[in-house]
Structure 1
Amino acid sequence: EVLLALSIVKVAALVAKFGMEETMMRFVPLYIVREDYARLKGTIYFALKFCLLLSIFIASLIWFFSGFISRDVFHSDGLLKLLPFVAVALPVNVFHEVTGGILKGYKDTFRALLPQFFVSPFLRLVIFLLLSIKGGSPLYAVAAFLTGEIISMFLSIMFLHKKAGRIRTAERKSEYQKTLKVAFTMISTGVSVFLFTNTDLWILGMFASTEAVGIYGVTAKLVTLVVFSLGALSAIIPPLISSMYTSGNLNELERVVRKSSRWILSTAVPIILVLILEGNFILKYFFGEKFTAGYAALLILSVGQLINAGCGLVGYLLQMTGGHKRYMRIAVFWGIVNVILNIILVPRMGIIGAALSTAFCLAMVNIVAMFEVYRKFRVLTLAEGLKFDIIFAAVVGGLYFLCRYNNFALGNHILLAGSLTVYIWKSMAGNDIPWRLLFPGYKSR
C-alpha cells in the first residue's frame, strides 16, 4: 500500500511538473551564457507558478476520487487512508523538484542534490523510526515522506533565493510559448520513461497480490542502486551539455560525455556483480525468506540496468542539444510497448513477466538513442575499455562459482571484495571528470 501510494505521488508529480525541471536545466544555463537575465527571471517565475497551480489542481482530483482510485483501481481499502497525505504531498514535491531543476541549471550541484538526495531521505527515516515507536503503520511511512518533503522544499527555496540575487532587479520577460513547447516534449518523454520504469509495479498491482507487489518493489529498488552514479551525473551534466552546445565547444562536450560514461559503468559493474552473485543472500537476510522469490527478477532487471548504464547519458545529450523531439518519439514508442508487454506477460508470468518487459524496453530505449546520438554527432557514448569489463566479469564470476562449488564461503567474500576494489581503481584511474564537476575546486594531479 505504501509503495502504491508513493507511486501515485511519482506519476502525479511527473504530470504536474510538466517537464519544467528538465526545461529549466536547458534554459537557465542558456540565458546565463547569453546574459539575458530578464528572460531568465521570467522563465523561472513562470515555471514555478505554472507547476504549483497544476499540482494543486491534480491534488484536488486525487482527493476527490480517492475512493475510486483505492477501491476500484487497486482494490485496497488501506490505500484510502493514505491518499489524503498523497494529495498534500504532491504540490510540495513538485515545487521542491522544479526548484532543484533551476539550481541544477545554475550548476549549483551541491545545493541541488542536498535536499532531494540527503536531507529528505534522512528526515524520512528518522521521522518514520520515531513514529514507529508507537507501532507499525503504513500511515507513518507516508507521513514521514510528507514531512521530509516539506522541510526539503523550504531548504531548496532558501538556496534558490541566495543563488538568484542577480536577477532580482532585472525586468521580467518570458517566452511562454517557447518554454511550454519544449516542456511538452520533456513531459512526453518523462511520462514514457516513467511508463517503462513504473508500469510493472502498477500492472502487478492490478493483476497480482499485494505480496507480489511488495517483493517486486523491493527487487526493483535494489536494482536502482546500479545507476546511482547515472542519477548523480544527470543532475550535473545536462546544464553543461546545454552550455557547451550553445557556445559551440563540441570537442569538450564529446570528452565530458565519454569520460562520464566510463565513470557510470565503473560504478555500475561492481554493484551488478554483487547483486547477481549475492542477490539471493541479500534478499533473504535483509528482507526475509519470502523475498528470495524475487531473485530471478533481480537478475533480469540488472541486465537491463547494465545496458542503461553502459549507454551513458544519451537521453540528456539529445534533449539538451535540440534533439528532444526525436528522443520523445523513441521514449513514447517503447513506453507504449512496455505497457502492452506488461499487460500480456504479468497475468501469465507474474513478477518475471514484469521484469522481462521492463528490462527489454529500458535497454531498447537506450540502444536506439545511442545510435541516434552517433548519427547526429558521430560520438559513440559507450564507455571506453569495454573489453576489460567483459573479461573481468567473466573471470570473477568463474572464480566465485568455483569457490562456491568447493564450499569455500570465505573465499567468495574475499574474492568479491578484493576484485571489486582492484576493478574500481583500475577503471577510474585518470578519470577526473566527475570530481571536477562535483567539486569545482578539485584539481587534477
Structure 2
Amino acid sequence: MSDADQAVRDVVKGASIVYVGLFLELLIAFVAQVLAARYLSVSGFGGLTTGTALLDLGSVVAGLGLASGLTRYLPRIAAAKKRMLAWTTVGATLASSTAIGVLVAFNAEFVTSMMFNDPSITPSIRIFGAAIPFAALLNLAIGGIRGQKQSLYQVYVKNIIHPVLRFVFIVVALTWGLGQAGFAGAYALPYVLSAAVALLLFHRTLPDIRGAFDWDLTEEVTRYSLPFTITSLSGFVYRSSDIFLILYFLDSTAVGIYGVAYAAVSFMGMFSTAFNFLGAPVASELESGGKVEEVMRVFRSVVRWLVVASVCALVPLAIFSTEFITAIYGSKYASGGLPLAVLAAGFALKNALSVHGPILEALGKSKVLSFNSAAAAVSNVALNLALTPTFGIVGAAVATSLSFLLRDGLAAIQTRHYLGTVPITWQGIGPAIVAAPLLGAFGLFVAPHVPATLPWLLVMSSLFGAVYVAIVMLAFGLSETEVMIIRSAEERYGVDIAALDWLVRRLS
C-alpha cells in the first residue's frame, strides 16, 4: 500500500472517529443550549452568548498559538524531545492565561459598562473571565493530542466529557433556578475539569523519555506558533466580532437571536472540522518526506464529500430555516431564520474551501495563514460596521459569510501558487453544480407544501439527501481512492458487501 493510500486510511479512520465525537458533542451541547435559550429571556441568553465569546477571545490570546505549534512539530521531532516541548508550552500557556483571566475577572464591571454599555451581563463576564486559563490549557492539550494523532482522546475530552458536563450543570442550574450567573457557571465549570483530563491524556501520549531542554527547538516552535495567535485572533474576529458589534449597535436580545442561529448552523462545521483534525498532521508528515502530490491525492479524495454533506445540510438550515429555528427554540427566536439561511450558505462554502488551510499549515506557511485570517478579520469588522446598523443581524450574518469566503479563497489561491495545483477538481465542483437546480426546485415546488413541524422537516431533508447522493453517484461514479476506502473497510471490519459489489464495480 502506498503512503498516500495509508494516509487516506488514517484520515478517514481518524475523521470517522472525530465525526462521531463531534456529532455527540454537538447533539449534547445543542440540547443544553436549547434548555438555556428556552429558560432564560432572550436578553439573558444574549449575555451568555457574549460571555462565551469573551472566553474564546481570552483563550486565543493567552494560547500564544502554541497549540498549532504542537500539532505541526510533534509528528516531526524525535521522541526524546516531545516531552520537553510539551511541558515547556504548558508552562508558557499557564502563565499567560492566568494573567489575562485575572485581568478580565477583576474588571468585569468596567468591561460591561464602558465597552458594551450593558451592565446586566456582568456576572457572565466575570465567571467566564475566571475560566480563561482552563480554556487555554484545554486548547493546548487538544493541539498536542492532534500532533500525536490520537483522535480518540480528542473525542473523549472535547466531544464527550466537556458537553456532558455542561449538560449536567445546566440541568442543575435549571432545576435550582440559578439564573444568568448559574448558567454562566454551567458553561464555564466544564473547562476546568476538561482541561485537567485533556492534560492527563496528552501526557499519556508522550514517550517516556526525558530529553534535555532544547532552546533551538523551543525558539523555532515559538517563531512558528506566534503568528497563529494572529491567525486565531483574526479567526475569532471574523467568527465572533459580530457578537460584540451586535451588542454595541443593537442589544443583548439581538445577540440572543443571532446566537441561536449561529449555534444551529454549527452542525455544518463538523464536516470540515473532523477532516482537518487529522488532515494537518498527516499532510505535514507526507510533506516532510517530499510527497506533495500524495498530499493532494489525500485531500482530493475528501473534498467531494464535504460538498455533498454541505448541500444536504442546506435543506433544513436554509430552505426551512425559520421553521427549523421556531420548532427547536420557540417562536421568540423566529426572526433568526434569515440569518440562519445566510450563515448556512457561508458554512457550505467554508467546508469546501477550508481544506487549503491544512495544506498551507503542512507547508509551514504560518505567516501566510496569519495574513489570510487578518484580512478576513478586518473585512468582517468593516462589513459589520457597514451592515449591522442598517440590516441588523442579517447584515452580521452576511459579513461573517463573506469573511469565510475571503479567508479560504485566499488560501486556495496561495495553494495554487505554491504547489501549482489545488485539491478542488471537477469531482468536487460537479456535485455543487448539480445541487443548484435541485435546491431551487425543492425550495420552490416542494417546501411550501411541507408542514412546519420538526418530524416533517427531518423526513423531507432526509429524502432530498438520499435523492441527491444517488444522482451524484450516477453522474460522477466512485473514484479509485473511494473504492480503496470501501475495500479497506471490508478488510478492516470483516464486512461482506458482496451483494453490492456489482454497484461498486458499475460506479467505479
TM-score by length of 1: 0.91
Alignment counterpart, residue 194 of structure 2, candidates 143, 152, 159: 152
Q: Which residue of 2 aligns with 1:390?
A: 433
Identity %: 19
1:402 equivalent in structure 2: 445
- Which of these residues, 351, 371, 383, is aligned with residue 309 of structure 1? 351
Q: One-letter code of the match for 2:60?
A: L
Q: How does 1:262-273 map to 2 (within 5 A)?
A: 262-273=304-315
Taking the aligned partners of 1:239 and 1:205, their CA distance within structure 2 comes to 38
**Residue 294 of structure 2 is aligned to residue 249 of structure 1:** no
Shift of the alpha carbon at 1:385? 3.9
**One-letter amino acid of the structure 2 residue matched with residue 262 of structure 1:** R
How many Å separate the matches in 2 of 1:367 and 1:289?
36
- Match for residue 6 of structure 1? 52
1:26 aligns with 2:68: no
Opposite residue 228 of structure 1, the aligned amino acid is: M
Q: Deviations over 1:374-409 (max 9, x none)?
A: 121123232624223332342254145323456788
Alignment-mate amino acid for residue 171 of structure 1: A
- The whole-number CA distance in structure 2 between the counterparts of 1:119 and 1:333 is 35
Q: CA deviation at 1:91?
A: 0.9
Distance in 1, matches of 2:302 and 2:450, equals 39
2:24 matched residue in structure 1 = none
Equivalent in the alignment of 1:338: 380
Q: Which amino acid aligns with 2:69?
A: T
* 1:421 counterpart = 2:466: yes
Q: CA deviation at 1:10?
A: 0.3
Q: Which residue of 1 aligns with 2:63?
A: 17
Check 1:385–1:353 CA distance in 2 against 1; reply closer, same or farther (3 A cut): closer
- For residues 374 and 80 of structure 1, the distance between their equivalents in structure 2, rounded to whole angstroms, comes to 47
The whole-number CA distance in structure 1 between the counterparts of 2:66 and 2:467 is 41
Alignment check: 8 A CA contact 1:5 1:82 kept: yes
For 1:187-206, what aligned pairs fall within 5 Å after superposition?
187-206=229-248
Q: Deviations over 1:120-146 (max 9, x none)?
A: 011101121122111151222221223
2:155 corresponds to 1:128: no
Counterpart CA distance in 2 for 1:3 and 1:342 is 18
Q: Quick one: structure 1 residues 189 and 443, their matched pair in 2 at CA, closer, same or farther if it must change by over 3 Å?
A: farther
Tell whether 2:217 aligns with 1:171. no
Which letter maps to 1:398?
A
Q: Deviations over 1:389-439 (max 9, x none)?
A: 33234225414532345678899765532231344575696638999999x
| TM-score, with structure 2 as normaliser | 0.80
The residue that corresponds to 2:15 in the other structure is none
3-state SS of paired residue (2:275): helix
Give the letter for the 2:338 counterpart: A
Aligned-residue Cα RMSD (Å) equals 2.7
Change (3 A) 1:92 1:443: farther
Corresponding residue for 2:504?
none
Distance 2:68 2:494 in 1: 29
Q: CA deviation at 1:369?
A: 1.1
Residues 244-284 of structure 1 deviation map (CA, whole Å, 9 limit, x = unaligned): 11112223211111122223223222112221121111111
Look up the equivalent residue of 1:102 and give its one-letter code. G
Post-superposition CA distance 1:147-168 (Å, at most 9, x none):
322222222122122211333x
Q: Which letter does structure 2 place at the counterpart of 1:195?
A: V
Q: In structure 1, how many angstroms separate the alpha carbons of the residues matched to 2:232 and 2:449?
A: 48
Structure 2, unmatched stretches of 5+, are: 1-46, 498-508
Cα distance in 1 for residues equivalent to 2:366 and 2:193: 33
Alignment of 1:42-441 (within 5 A): 42-135=84-177, 137-167=179-209, 169-174=210-215, 175-382=217-424, 384-405=427-448, 415-424=460-469, 431=482
In terms of mean alpha carbon deviation, does 393-402 or 233-242 score higher?
Answer: 393-402
Cα distance, 1:411–1:51 mapped onto 2, change above 3 Å: closer
| Distance in 2 (alpha carbons) for counterparts of 1:443 and 1:20 | 41
CA contact (8 A) 1:267 1:424 kept: no
